[in-house]
């Protein structure tokens, strides 16, 4: 036991997360209900140390049941006993930020990795591949890092819900989640950030979908809202943290992300496929803003400028123009009894130049497409039926974990005609692939999934890239420019 605790303390010292060794040791003695011992330097694999410590804790009835969710929660508590407190972390971040913002960001990122808040070992097991589409490369990943909920966890969650708990956060994004035992947040550290004179908080995502995947959440629990102010928040962020892109999910169901009830953005140190897409048409410069229509399946306008005032002013005008634009021939209808139009914006700043990507969205449904007209259509639902949010709109598919096994089974069916009942939803697709005789390895099958993802993105575009769609989008951009000039 003492060797394990010493292994943990040695790790904490090596990673510089322990500031007071004696205090850290005392905290662990209390947590594990053991007697005092002498610290010794013991280098050991941290994941093995943690695993053994969790087994001991379970046997001592320090947590229950022994599910991966409960183990994650207790592991977060163990790290909390040796790492800087939320207030210490905020103070260090602020101190570093005053002299070098990149160093401050790096500090929070490394801390989140070292205390296993970011589940880097699990995310490294995700499957990832690239598909060369007609728009350039698309990226796909099957996310295996989010643990599936055990029925025992669900039963326990119900039990807790029935107890009165006054100060519970209203959702998983609320700042009140920091340093909470539920959802394994004892080792979560967040830092405040002022954007456009408003209080926000910056933290990392535990199940990173891309490098240094960060979340910026509003101080207050309030609905996602995409407005002209959004551009100011995004611009302030890239002025503060110039190495990161930032983007916002749209604020309507179907075209937005999975969380619409807490205003937030996503950011990170990653370049997405949309940024490599080619330009279909460049428009005349308006007050030093270059305007481009991109060759991208989702209708995307790229604005490039060094002048943030003009950029946000024009983006605001474009958002307003889009909100009232209708073209019934293309099924684009701005408003019925509800508002249907919004934008997915992405911003990057490089060498003082801003590149703002505005992806036009519409969430209307009709009889033929009750899940959404500009949403994956039924024929691709066996691969993807969830919302096409910010990350996917930029060209990175996050596919459900079930696909890992289903693709292995699917390949066995193509190759050796071994049929598994889980393949029912894929049967037509697999039969067509069988007949085509194009799939000779599991990698070939992954490429076929890439093809499906390209279709998913085609379905999500409001202006299709055929002549009619391109002309209509061209007209929309020209009108927007002309009305801006008259202002
Ligand atoms: Zn919330």
- State the pTM of this model: 0.95
Given a cut of 90, whether residue 151 has pLDDT beyond it is: no
Report CA-CA distances (Å) from 44 to 5, 10, 49, 79, 420.
Answer: 11, 9, 7, 16, 43
Mean pLDDT of 75-103: 97
Mean pLDDT of 211-229: 97
* Residue with tokens 């009619």, as numbered in its chain: 468
CB 216 within 8 A of CB 264: yes
What whole-number percentage of the chain has pLDDT above 70?
98
Mean pLDDT of 1-21: 96
pLDDT of 393: 98
Asked if the structure places residue 169 within a domain, the reply is no
Indicate whether 443 and 305 sit together in one domain.
Answer: yes
Distance between Cα 168 and ligand 1 center (Å):
10
Given a cut of 90, whether residue 143 has pLDDT beyond it is: no
Asked if the structure places residue 462 within a domain, the reply is yes
- Domain limits for position 22: 2-119
Distance between Cα 18 and ligand 1 center (Å):
31
Asked if the structure places residue 140 within a domain, the reply is yes
Ion ligand 1 nearby residues (CB, 5 A)? 170-171, 173-174, 221, 262
pLDDT of 154: 73
Indicate whether 69 and 211 sit together in one domain.
Answer: no
Distance between Cα 450 and ligand 1 center (Å):
34
Residue 232 pLDDT grade (very low, low, confident, very high; cuts 50, 70, 90): very high
Distance between Cα 12 and ligand 1 center (Å):
32
pLDDT of 129: 98
CB 274 within 8 A of CB 186: no
Given a cut of 80, whether residue 485 has pLDDT beyond it is: yes
Indicate whether 200 and 305 sit together in one domain.
Answer: yes
Asked if the structure places residue 170 within a domain, the reply is no
Asked if the structure places residue 275 within a domain, the reply is yes
pLDDT 10s digits, 272-307: 999 999 999 999 888 889 999 999 999 999 999 999
Indicate whether 211 and 69 sit together in one domain.
Answer: no
Of the candidates 103, 119, 135, which is a domain's last residue?
119
The number of distinct structural domains making up the chain is: 2
**CATH number for the domain including 276?**
3.30.428
Indicate whether 58 and 126 sit together in one domain.
Answer: no
Indicate whether 402 and 487 sit together in one domain.
Answer: yes
Asked if the structure places residue 173 within a domain, the reply is no
Among the listed residues 111, 112, 224, 219, the one whose alpha carbon sits nearest the alpha carbon of residue 175: 219
Given a cut of 60, whether residue 165 has pLDDT beyond it is: no
Indicate whether 283 and 271 sit together in one domain.
Answer: yes
Given a cut of 70, whether residue 166 has pLDDT beyond it is: no
Given a cut of 70, whether residue 164 has pLDDT beyond it is: no
Distance between Cα 172 and ligand 1 center (Å):
6
Indicate whether 346 and 285 sit together in one domain.
Answer: yes
> Given phi > 0 = left and psi -120 to 50 = alpha, else beta, which region is 288?
left
Residues in contact with 313: Cβ distance below 8 Å, sequence separation at least 6, in sequence order: none
Distance between Cα 233 and ligand 1 center (Å):
18
Given a cut of 60, whether residue 388 has pLDDT beyond it is: yes
Indicate whether 106 and 22 sit together in one domain.
Answer: yes
Indicate whether 73 and 196 sit together in one domain.
Answer: no
CB 218 within 8 A of CB 264: yes
Query: How many whole angstroms separate alpha carbon 217 and alpha carbon 235?
Result: 15
Mean pLDDT of 182-211: 96
List beta partners, residue 446: none
Distance between Cα 261 and ligand 1 center (Å):
7
Asked if the structure places residue 253 within a domain, the reply is yes
Distance between Cα 190 and ligand 1 center (Å):
14
Distance between Cα 162 and ligand 1 center (Å):
20
Query: How many whole angstroms separate alpha carbon 74 and alpha carbon 113?
Result: 17
Instruction: Name the more confident of 352 and 168.
Output: 352
């Amino acid at each position: 036991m003492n060797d394990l605790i010493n292994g943990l303390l040695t790790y904490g010292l090596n990673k510089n997360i322990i500031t007071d060794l004696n205090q850290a040791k005392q905290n662990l003695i209390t947590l594990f209900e053991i007697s005092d011992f002498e610290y010794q330097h013991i280098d050991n694999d941290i994941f093995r140390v943690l695993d053994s410590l969790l087994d001991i804790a379970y046997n001592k009835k320090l947590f229950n049941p022994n599910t991966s969710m409960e183990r994650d929660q207790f592991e977060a508590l163990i790290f909390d006993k040796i790492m800087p407190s939320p207030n210490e972390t905020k103070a260090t971040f602020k101190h570093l930020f005053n002299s070098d913002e990149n160093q401050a960001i790096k500090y929070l990122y490394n801390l989140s990795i070292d205390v296993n808040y970011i589940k880097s070992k699990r995310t490294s097991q995700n499957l990832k591949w690239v598909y060369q589409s007609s728009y350039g490369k698309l990226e796909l990943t099957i996310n295996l890092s989010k643990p599936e909920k055990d029925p025992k966890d669900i039963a326990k969650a119900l039990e807790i819900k029935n107890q009165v708990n006054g100060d519970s956060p209203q959702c998983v994004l609320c700042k009140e989640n920091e340093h909470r035992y539920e959802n394994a947040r004892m080792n979560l550290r967040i830092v405040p950030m002022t954007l456009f004179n408003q209080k926000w908080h910056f933290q990392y995502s535990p199940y990173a979908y891309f490098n240094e995947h960060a979340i910026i959440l509003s101080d207050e629990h309030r609905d996602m809202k995409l407005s002209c102010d959004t551009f100011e928040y995004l611009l302030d962020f890239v002025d503060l943290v110039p190495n990161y892109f930032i983007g916002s999910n749209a604020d309507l169901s179907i075209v937005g992300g999975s969380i619409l009830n807490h205003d937030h953005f996503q950011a990170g140190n990653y370049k997405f496929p949309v940024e490599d897409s080619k330009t279909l048409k460049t428009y005349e410069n308006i007050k030093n803003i270059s305007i481009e229509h991109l060759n991208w399946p989702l209708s995307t306008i790229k604005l490039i400028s060094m002048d943030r005032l003009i950029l946000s002013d024009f983006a605001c005008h474009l958002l307003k123009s889009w909100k009232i634009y209708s073209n019934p021939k293309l099924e684009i209808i701005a408003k019925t009894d509800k508002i249907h139009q919004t934008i997915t914006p992405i911003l990057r700043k490089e060498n003082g130049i801003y590149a703002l990507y505005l992806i036009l969205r519409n969430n209307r449904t009709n009889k033929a497409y009750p899940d959404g007209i500009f949403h994956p259509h039924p024929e691709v639902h066996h691969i993807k039926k969830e919302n096409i949010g910010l990350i996917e709109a930029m060209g990175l598919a996050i596919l459900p974990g079930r696909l890992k096994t289903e693709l292995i089974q699917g390949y066995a069916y193509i190759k050796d005609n071994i049929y598994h009942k889980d393949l029912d939803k894929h049967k037509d697709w697999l039969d067509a692939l069988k007949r085509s005789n194009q799939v000779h390895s599991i990698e070939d099958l992954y490429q076929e999934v890439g093809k499906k993802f390209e279709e998913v993105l085609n379905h999500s575009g409001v202006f299709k890239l055929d002549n009619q769609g391109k002309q209509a989008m061209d007209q929309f951009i020209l009108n927007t420019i002309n009305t801006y000039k008259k202002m």
